Amino acid sequence: TVSPQRGVTFTATAAARLTPAAVVVCHDGRMSISARDRWQSATTVPLALLGVAFIVFYSVWVLADLSDELQFISFIVVIVVWVVFTIDLVVRLAMTPRGARTSYAWKNPLDVLAVGLPVFRALHVVALVQRGPFFAERIGNAVRARAITFMVLYGGVFVWFLAIATLHAERTAPGSTITSLGDAIWWAAVTIFTVGYGDVVPVTVQGRVYGILLMIGGVAIIATASAVVVSWITERVKQHSEEPPA
pLDDT at position 25 = 46
pLDDT at position 139 = 56
pLDDT at position 142 = 62
Is the pLDDT confidence value at 180 over 80? yes
| Cβ pair 21, 34 in contact under 8 A | yes
- For the segment 116-132, the average pLDDT, to the nearest whole number, is 62
> Roughly how many angstroms between the first and final C-alpha of the chain, as a whole number?
58
* Residue of 59, 140, 154, 78 whose CA lies nearest to 110: 154
Helix ranges, the chain (H): 12-15, 35-63, 68-94, 101-107, 109-116, 119-122, 124-129, 133-136, 140-170, 181-192, 205-242
> CA 21, CA 37: separation in Å to the nearest integer?
9
pLDDT at position 21 = 46
The 8-class DSSP code of residue 174 comes to: T
Q: Residue 170's pLDDT band (boundaries 50, 70, 90)?
A: very high
Q: Residue 156's pLDDT band (boundaries 50, 70, 90)?
A: confident
Is the pLDDT confidence value at 4 over 50? no
Is the pLDDT confidence value at 80 over 70? yes
User: Minimum mean pLDDT among 18-22, 120-124, 235-239, 242-246: which range?
Assistant: 18-22
User: Minimum mean pLDDT among 119-123, 178-182, 218-222: which range?
Assistant: 119-123
* φ and ψ of 31, to 5 deg: -115, 145
pLDDT in tens, 26-56: 444 443 457 888 887 888 778 778 878 888 8
